[in-house]
Amino acid sequence: MAPVLEVTNLRKHFVSKKGFPTPKTVTVRAVEDISFTINPGEAFGLVGESGCGKSTAARALLRLIEPDGGSVRWKGEDVLAARGPALKALRRRMQIVFQDPYSSLDPRQSIGSALMEPMQVHGIATGAEARRRAGALLEEVGLPAAALDRFPHEFSGGQRQRIGIARALTVEPELIVADEPVSALDVSVQAQVLLLLKELRERRGLSFLFVSHDLSVIRWFCDRVAVMYLGRIVEEGPAARVLANPLHPYAQMLRDASPIPDPSRRGVLPRIIGEIPSAANPPPGCPFHPRCIHAMPQCSRDMPAWTSAGPGQGGVACHLHG
55's contact among Mg ion, ligand SF4, none, with CB below 5 to 8 A by partner kind, is Mg ion
Q: For ligand SF4, what does the binding mask look like between residues 240 and 269, x meaning CB under 6 A?
A: --------xx--------------------
Which of 292, 309, 314, 315 forms a contact with ligand SF4 (CB under 6 A)? 292
Residue 253 CB, nearest approach to ligand SF4 (Å): 10
Q: Are strands 224-229 and 232-238 parallel, antiparallel or unpaired?
A: antiparallel
Residue 258 CB, nearest approach to ligand SF4 (Å): 18
Report the C-alpha gap between 295 and 109 in whole angstroms: 54
Chain centroid to CA 11: 15
Q: Is 212 in the site for Mg ion (CB under 5 A)?
A: no
- Is the bond preceding residue 21 a cis peptide, omega within 30 degrees? yes
Which of 46, 222, 286, 309 forms a contact with ligand SF4 (CB under 6 A)? 286
Length, in residues, of the chain: 322
Which of 112, 160, 289, 314 forms a contact with ligand SF4 (CB under 6 A)? 289
The radius of gyration of the chain from alpha carbons, rounded to an integer in Å, stands at: 20
207's contact among Mg ion, ligand SF4, none, with CB below 5 to 8 A by partner kind, is none
Residues 11, 33 contacting (CB under 8 angstroms)? yes
Report the C-alpha gap between 125 and 89 in whole angstroms: 15
215's contact among ligand SF4, Mg ion, none, with CB below 5 to 8 A by partner kind, is none
Largest CA distance in the chain: 68
Handedness of CA 119, 122, 127, 128 (dihedral sign): negative
Q: Which is nearer to ligand SF4, 208 or 288 (CB)?
A: 288
For residue 225, CA distances in Å to 221, 222, 231 come to 10, 7, 15
Q: Who's near 41: CB < 8 A, 6+ residues apart?
A: 201, 205, 206, 207
164's contact among Mg ion, ligand SF4, none, with CB below 5 to 8 A by partner kind, is none
48-107 residues near Mg ion, rule: CB under 5 A? 55
Q: Which is nearer to ligand SF4, 112 or 304 (CB)?
A: 304
Residue 32 CB, nearest approach to ligand SF4 (Å): 15
Q: For ligand SF4, what does the binding mask look like between residues 153 and 192, x meaning CB under 6 A?
A: ----------------------------------------
**Residue 31, SS3?**
strand
Return the closest-CA partner of residue 256 out of 265, 241, 244. Answer: 244
Which of 141, 299, 314, 315 forms a contact with ligand SF4 (CB under 6 A)? 299
Q: Which is nearer to ligand SF4, 75 or 294 (CB)?
A: 294
For residue 181, CA distances in Å to 96, 164, 169, 186, 312 come to 10, 10, 15, 12, 28
Residue 50 CB, nearest approach to Mg ion (Å): 6
133's contact among Mg ion, ligand SF4, none, with CB below 5 to 8 A by partner kind, is none
Binding site for Mg ion (CB under 5 A): 55
Binding site for ligand SF4 (CB under 6 A): 248-249, 286, 288-289, 292, 294-296, 299, 304, 318-320
